[in-house]
Structure 1
Amino acid sequence: MPRALITGINGQDGSYLAELLLDRGYRVVGLMREGAGERTSRIDHLKTRIDLVTGSLLDEALLRRIIEDYRPDEIYNLAARASSRQLFVDPVLTGDFNGLAVARILEAIRTVRPGARFCQASSSEMFGDAGEAPQSEATAFRPINPYGVAKLFAHGMVRSYREHFGVFACSSILFNHESPRRGPDFVTRKISMAVARIKKGSASSLELGDLDAVRDWGYAADYMHAMWLMLQAESADDYVVATGESHSVREFCAVAFAHVGLDYRDYVRVDPGARRAAERVPRIGDPSKARKILGWRPTVPFEDLVRIMVDADLAALS
């Protein structure tokens, strides 16, 4: 039975990856940060099938012990300070969790379990103020916030350990990926929750910032499948994981409200104070490398993703 360790297992991505691995016959060990014991709703249905441990990615000795005790064949690092509200909050801590923590994991693998395969959840935020679109593995990184900078450090460490120490280490450069399990402070979930509340009569409007901001949105479960495929490949490498399509916040609203028979223009209000500076080029990924080498393709189109999220929030209010 193959064994896998997932950090951040109680998050959106961790829960989908755990399901995928369990379905493939893995023994799954999940690491949650200390104090997160009550935030397990995404994995409550899996608790009898997984091993859960708590601890901090800042504790290298703990990471070594976990790897020694469970001897995972595959390790997926999904843990991060990822909230959009935290992009500029406490950059030192962000750097420690999203950057240095990855170096600790890689060093533990090198010294304790050198045969383990590792996949890092990198981020499209590393591209930042990109000079071209779409962004591929060859696009220059120009991060503009502490989150992206820390992720870029981790991304560089993955490559370093792969090339200099022979660790089977991959980076999955994930573009925006959503689901009904997405946190409520992300714009996609704000929209789907508001649509459900408005339809049910418990809210009357939704306030957003820039409706014309565009993103490459995919389905989180699809993206976890891509990460798994990376560790099944013959050799380790880095891959952009994206749909290759860009859609605006306005489009997301239009599809979400139309799904319940409403016109978003009657309910969405724009808050000028919440607008961000316009990006020079759209944030859109080029997944052709993953498609060619891994055979990976997204399975859930944009419109279906929006409807899935709205339906889940409607069901939660029933």
Structure 2
Amino acid sequence: MNRAFITGITGQDGSYLTEFLLDKGYEVHGLVRRSSTLNRSRIDHLAGNDRLHLHYGDLTDGVGLVNLVRSIEPTEVYNLGAQSHVKVSFEMPDYTASTNSIGTLRLLEAIRASGMSCKFYQASTSEMFGSTPPPQNEDTTFHPRSPYGASKLQAHWVTINYREAYGLFAVSGILFNHESPRRGENFVTRKITRGVAAIRAGLTDTLELGNLDATRDWGYAPEYVVGMWQMLQADEPDDYVLATGEGHSVRAFCEAAFSHAGLNWQDHVVHNDMYERPSEVDALLGDATKARTHLGWEAKTTALDLARLMVDSDSAELEMSLKK
């Protein structure tokens, strides 16, 4: 039986990947951090599956990772765990680097030290491109503009190094922004769609946002986890960009979300400097030709459809909550 080990299993991507792998018959092991309150809402519906196993641990604990890898004996490892919020990385740069950069190194070293022949997936990010002009693909120069982007770039290169130095089947998925109703509430897309739901319900009248001109390539998370899996099924390890190939501004996403609810975004959106980054990434637009050609992967859901999908989900969730 294929056995997967997922860090970040309780996150957006981790939950969708877990569903996908369980449907394929995998045994899935997930790394969860110990805390005083449980934060497993995205995978609660999978709790009764006897092929899902959760383990306490942390990417900052190298010894614990070695012990877990040896105990689980995974055939595939997906490193999705991270401090993943760009704005927060400016406020917590040390923790961001320790988790994202050195955490990846610890996990790779745990695999190497254990002697496992498992395949390794590293969650890289379009934020590594930073200020490099779009479109961006696997050959584009990196120029990160945040501690988050820089930490992910180190993790990206150390993954390549372990592939070249030790012969590990190690790949990096350079994923552009991908969203869903499970996206964290402090990310701009989810903040917008939750705000729209609240305004339509009459609970508030304004939504505070930062830079409306930033352009992003937004896709749908459930489609992107399929691409992660496909990278590990390839004959040879390599790195791939996953993206829709369409760029939309935060303003355009706002307009689509508000208009879907019968609202004019200009009547409700208020600018707040607090949400501006110290150094902005103006435009990210991915070229996923390599993934389409070599893996057969292609994004089907793009940003404006995604905005409408997320508004419907957040509105339904809010309505249910108000009834309760």
Sort the TM-score into its range (normalised by shorter chain). over 0.9
CA deviations on 1:24-50 (whole Å, 9 max, x unpaired) are: 110000101221751111110012221
Query: Alpha carbons of 1:163 and 1:134: their partners in 2 closer, same or farther (altered >3 Å)?
Result: same
Which runs of structure 2 are paired with 1:186-265 in the superposition (5 Å)? 186-265=187-266
Is 1:289 aligned to 2:290, yes or no? Answer: yes
Which runs of structure 2 are paired with 1:76-225 in the superposition (5 Å)? 76-130=78-132, 132-225=133-226
Does the 8 Å CA contact 1:208/1:274 hold for their aligned counterparts?
yes
Does the 8 Å CA contact 1:9/1:32 hold for their aligned counterparts?
yes
- Counterparts of 1:302 and 1:294, CA distance in 2: 23
Between the two proteins, what is the percent identity of the paired residues?
51
Partner amino acid for 1:197? A
CA deviations on 1:124-165 (whole Å, 9 max, x unpaired) are: 1111121x3111111111112111111111101110111110
- How far does residue 90 in structure 1 lie from its aligned partner after superposition? 2.6
- Counterparts of 2:228 and 2:116, CA distance in 1: 19
- Counterparts of 1:36 and 1:122, CA distance in 2: 30
- Counterparts of 1:296 and 1:2, CA distance in 2: 22
Q: Give the TM-score taking structure 1 as reference length.
A: 0.96
- How far does residue 301 in structure 1 lie from its aligned partner after superposition? 2.5
Helix, strand or coil at the partner of 1:245: coil
Partner amino acid for 1:61? V
- How far does residue 256 in structure 1 lie from its aligned partner after superposition? 0.6
Does the 8 Å CA contact 1:14/1:78 hold for their aligned counterparts?
yes
Does the 8 Å CA contact 2:145/2:280 hold for their aligned counterparts?
no
What residue in structure 1 maps to residue 75 of structure 2?
A: 73
- Counterparts of 1:286 and 1:217, CA distance in 2: 13
- How far does residue 76 in structure 1 lie from its aligned partner after superposition? 0.1
- Counterparts of 1:275 and 1:152, CA distance in 2: 22
Query: Alpha carbons of 1:100 and 1:199: their partners in 2 closer, same or farther (altered >3 Å)?
Result: same
What residue in structure 1 maps to residue 27 of structure 2?
A: 27
- How far does residue 17 in structure 1 lie from its aligned partner after superposition? 0.5
Structure 2: state its 5+ residue gaps. 320-324
CA deviations on 1:188-247 (whole Å, 9 max, x unpaired) are: 011000100111111111121222211111111111111100000001001111111100
Q: Give the TM-score taking structure 2 as reference length.
A: 0.94
Aligned residues: 317
Structure 1: state its 5+ residue gaps. none
- Counterparts of 1:278 and 1:259, CA distance in 2: 32
Helix, strand or coil at the partner of 2:141: coil
- Counterparts of 1:273 and 1:102, CA distance in 2: 31
Does the 8 Å CA contact 1:114/1:167 hold for their aligned counterparts?
no
- Counterparts of 2:36 and 2:138, CA distance in 1: 34
Is 1:38 aligned to 2:38, yes or no? Answer: yes
- Counterparts of 2:151 and 2:300, CA distance in 1: 30
CA deviations on 1:88-141 (whole Å, 9 max, x unpaired) are: 1232221110001111111111121431000000111111121x3111111111
- When the two chains are superposed, the root-mean-square deviation of aligned CA atoms in Å is 1.6
- How far does residue 280 in structure 1 lie from its aligned partner after superposition? 7.7
